[in-house]
Amino acid sequence: MKKLLSIILAIMMFFSMSRVTFADGIDGPMQKAIIKVGTSADFKPFEYYDENGELTGFDIDLMNYVGEKIGFDIEFVNMSFDKLIPAVVSGEIDCAISAISVTEERDNIIDYSREYLKTYNITFDENGNRSTKHGEQYAIVFREGLAGSPYEELSEPTGDETLYILIDKALRELSDDRTVMKLIEKYELNKPLDESTVNVKYSAIMGDGDPGANTDDSEPITSATSVEASEWAWADIDKAHALNITNAGGNYNFPGAITREKFCELAYNYVSEFGNLPVDDGHIVFVDTDNMKVRILNTMGIIKGKSKAQFAPNDLLTREEAATILNRLINIVHPDLVSTELYYEFSDNAQISDWAMSAVQRICNMGIMKGVGNNNFAPKENYTTEQAIVTLVRVYASSGISKPDNMTFADKLKSQMPTNTNYMFSPLSIKMAFAMAANGADGNTKTEILNTLDIDNLDEYNEYAKKLIEGYQKADILKLDIANALWINKTNTTQKFSESYQNTLENFYDAEVNSSTRDKIAGEINSWVKEKTNDKIDGIITDELAQDERFIMALLNAVYFKGAWQNEFDEDATKKDIFTDRNGAEKQTDFMNETAYYGYYNENGTEVLALPYKNRVYDETAEEMLSYDFDVSMYLIRGDYSENTLSGLIENKSLANKRIKLSIPKFESEFDTSLIDIMNNLGVVDAFEDKKADFRKMFDKGNMYLMAAMHKTYIKVDERGTEAAAVTGLFGGTTSVPPEPIVVKFDTPFTYVIRDDANGEILFMGEYAFVE
């Protein structure tokens, strides 16, 4: 993770680069080469976009100087910080410079230059005293095995050869180079700390690099790598975070220009919260991006490409483009939203494109966007990230909709469920399965999962899960069992679960760890599911998935519940009655009937009734009532609770004990669904994309992505009580399709050898040349 940097060390870089491309190909005289350098331009003063949208900063100037010294052109590629090292490993870029800390974990997969920056992590106590916590070193990174290459001379590659460069000699004197010292002074990296200054902001890099304390509670909460927003945007940025328009922990260059793709991601977040997202069919619309969010917004008609096949994801968004996209979003998500008839006569109206004029007028009439001063709209100017966030918050405010601030993961899941059929899901099962996966995830993959699950601290959740599983296992009045398991498909991979990951799941989730082969794994998994759900769910994996050559692992969670009502219904009182469904259709079904005292609430059109399960039993030996430290009830809810979260409604409403003549249907129901679109809509995206998923912590080597995620449930409600079961299955696939198997058929004469490999002794040797 990036941290504030302090003291400049000797800048003696010892590294090599590969995959160098030439401007005019490799034929003929050698041309000046281009080095692709990755950076994350959101960390002022090291790498950031200035007010003119130009990439600048200490690292940027330093790398350009490196290129000048070795006679190479530098081409910077801006990407999120979490993507830098994977891009280096894959060869997408040649190296990366972005205040990348030297860690043991990273050292296993990439090479470093010699460190050129060192940090101090400074904290302040309540008395204003400073203390240095620890230091950290930073370096440029390369693919493993390239740093320190023996090649020293720059030579033109031929064919598919790789070009290596050793530039230590060229930069040996950089530590006292006058140009580098000027860069240090330019970016004030040697500025002394004024300890008398009150509330020194974290974004300032002060003397010896010591960051001052920030005690201003009014500032927005942003990630450590975000560029500080303008003061006028603070309140709306905080609101956007609460509304899930922005992603917790996301890296945002708030005052910087926003790209078309980044704006689409914000718009997608808005639609996922307040609109209805279609199912992504995976159809590739544009040749220059496979971003799922761009695809879906295009399907909805909210965004369009620069041409039929080109979206131009990295182009900076203009103000008139932003107005047009916002207008389409409102038409689709809030079709009843109206604007005034006022016509804005901007001084630069003539510069507004014809295709954008009506959208600009409407968006300005609604107060979503405003002019830039001097009665100008500036249609061709770049739109900034903070402007994009603020205007989406204004759309929300204009819509008049209300979103509870305390939606739980269960509430979010419910918002994704179908309205045309009965359904049941287990938030506990889904959350626990993805939490187990998060223990093997890293980077943005892990961040997205934890944010969606509402888990702030994974270690604390692991402890909570352990106590929950152990507590439920003690029950015998109520049966509530949680089971977890892992499988490796040995046919398709040589990977094994890493020792640390396996220990975590065994210790905290009581997980079984299994291995199997392609022909057996489906049967074993489905048998496990059937056993753990007491035969209520037959299985979770299909034969088709089990036979897929990409399929390498399965992670399973099963929950089984059986409880008796505290007040059982009389079977003789069960009668046929009419149930009116959501579409107004009437149908006869069995209704259970009972008159008893129940917890009940009925106000403002919302009705809640609690049906408790038996949780106490008399122990004749101990001559006392025994109970457990959990209390389970079924809550029946009806009416309009749109202003409340469902979880909050149950937790916060005071249910008065009332004598109720109760009639409820007796029913049995099954439900199954894929979780991919559901979790995508809630914010888990990278885990399902083979080029973005990061589950390397799960294995001793290699990676995977989630190629499938399934959830199945069963419930039966009758006079005695309730029996319910749920299973969640996450299925991992290789991040690249395995090669086609080599067909080897020994149908001609061959020699065979039986050998003791440990001692090198050939025990038998022969030849088979004739069928006897």
Question: Is the residue at 336 inside a domain?
Answer: yes
Residues 679 and 650 in one domain: no
Residues 659 and 631 in one domain: yes
Residues 31 and 71 in one domain: yes
| Residue range 513-567, pLDDT digits in tens | 999 999 999 999 999 999 999 999 999 999 999 999 899 999 999 999 888 888 8
Partnered with residue 705 across adjacent β-strands are 733
Question: Is the residue at 357 inside a domain?
Answer: yes
Residues 661 and 679 in one domain: no
* Distance separating alpha carbons of residues 377 and 537, to the nearest angstrom: 60
| Residue range 410-433, pLDDT digits in tens | 878 877 887 778 888 888 999 999
Per-residue confidence (pLDDT) for residue 31, from 0 to 100: 46
Structure tokens at 264: 């689409």
Residues 659 and 678 in one domain: no
Range of 341's domain?
A: 231-399
Per mean pLDDT, which range of 154-168, 194-208, 310-324, 540-554 is the poorest?
A: 194-208
Residues 550 and 649 in one domain: no
Residues 659 and 674 in one domain: no
Residues 655 and 716 in one domain: no
Using CA of residue 302, residue 307, residue 311, residue 315, what is the dihedral sign? negative
Question: Is the residue at 76 inside a domain?
Answer: yes
Name residues whose C-beta falls within 8 Å of residue 772's C-beta, 6 or more positions apart in sequence: none
Per-residue confidence (pLDDT) for residue 117, from 0 to 100: 56
Per mean pLDDT, which range of 32-36, 614-618, 719-723 is the poorest?
A: 614-618
The rounded mean pLDDT for the chain is 74
Of the ranges 235-239, 646-650, 712-716, the best mean pLDDT one: 712-716
The identity of residue 621, as a single letter, is T
| Residue range 264-307, pLDDT digits in tens | 999 998 988 887 777 766 677 888 888 888 988 988 889 988 88
| Residue range 168-188, pLDDT digits in tens | 333 333 444 455 556 655 665
Per-residue confidence (pLDDT) for residue 66, from 0 to 100: 75
Question: Is the residue at 766 inside a domain?
Answer: no
* Distance separating alpha carbons of residues 254 and 150, to the nearest angstrom: 44
Question: Is the residue at 747 inside a domain?
Answer: no
Greater pLDDT, 660 or 199? 660
Question: Is the residue at 191 inside a domain?
Answer: no
Q: Do the bridges between strand 73-78 and strand 55-56 make them parallel or antiparallel, or are there none, so unpaired?
A: unpaired
Per-residue confidence (pLDDT) for residue 338, from 0 to 100: 67
DSSP state letters, 74-123: EEEEE--HHHHHHHHHHTSSSEEEEEEE--HHHHTTEEE----EEEEEEE
**Residue 158 near residue 101 (C-beta atoms within 8 A):** no
Per-residue confidence (pLDDT) for residue 65, from 0 to 100: 77
**Max intra-chain CA distance, the chain:** 99
Residues 439 and 388 in one domain: no
Question: Which phi and psi (to 5°) does residue 263 adopt?
Answer: -65, -40
- Please report, rounded to a whole number, the percentage of residues in the chain having pLDDT higher than 70: 67
* Distance separating alpha carbons of residues 408 and 696, to the nearest angstrom: 29
Residues 390 and 503 in one domain: no
As for how many domains the chain has, the answer is 4
Average pLDDT score over residue span 15-28:
29
Q: Read off the CATH number of the domain in which 52 is found.
A: 3.40.190.10
Using CA of residue 331, residue 236, residue 42, residue 385, what is the dihedral sign? positive
Question: Both ends of the chain: CA-CA distance in Å?
Answer: 69
Per-residue confidence (pLDDT) for residue 594, from 0 to 100: 87
Find where tokens 């100087």 sit: 65
Question: Which phi and psi (to 5°) does residue 136 adopt?
Answer: -150, 140
* Distance separating alpha carbons of residues 469 and 506, to the nearest angstrom: 12
| Residue range 431-468, pLDDT digits in tens | 999 999 999 999 999 999 998 898 989 999 999 999 88
Q: At what angle do helices 385-399 and 260-274 cross, to 10 degrees?
A: 20
Q: Read off the CATH number of the domain in which 623 is found.
A: 2.30.39.10
Of the ranges 274-288, 469-483, 521-535, 592-606, the best mean pLDDT one: 521-535
Of the ranges 123-137, 218-232, 446-460, the best mean pLDDT one: 446-460
- Give the angle 144-146-150 at the CA atoms, nearest 5°: 145
Structure tokens at 720: 């005695």
Per-residue confidence (pLDDT) for residue 168, from 0 to 100: 37
Is the pLDDT confidence value at 508 over 80?
A: yes
Of the ranges 129-138, 594-603, 748-757, the best mean pLDDT one: 594-603
Per-residue confidence (pLDDT) for residue 130, from 0 to 100: 43
Q: Read off the CATH number of the domain in which 545 is found.
A: 3.30.497.10
Q: Look at the pTM and tell me if it is higher than 0.85.
A: no
Partnered with residue 756 across adjacent β-strands are 761
The identity of residue 305, as a single letter, is G
Residues 253 and 368 in one domain: yes
Per-residue b or e along 95-107, where b marks 16 or more CB atoms closer than 10 Å to that residue's CB: bbbbbbbbeeeee
Residues 638 and 541 in one domain: no
- Residue 202, Cβ density class (10 Å: 0-12 exposed, 13-18 middle, ≥19 buried): middle
Average pLDDT score over residue span 326-352:
81
Find where tokens 């059986």 sit: 562
**Residue 275 near residue 333 (C-beta atoms within 8 A):** yes
| Residue range 67-107, pLDDT digits in tens | 776 677 888 888 877 778 888 877 788 788 887 766 666 66
Average pLDDT score over residue span 618-633:
59
Question: Is the residue at 596 inside a domain?
Answer: yes
Greater pLDDT, 528 or 125? 528
3-state DSSP helix/strand/coil % of the chain, to nearest 5: 30, 25, 45
Residue 657 belongs to what H/E stretch?
Answer: strand 656-665
Average pLDDT score over residue span 43-64:
79
Per-residue confidence (pLDDT) for residue 223, from 0 to 100: 35
Question: Is the residue at 412 inside a domain?
Answer: no
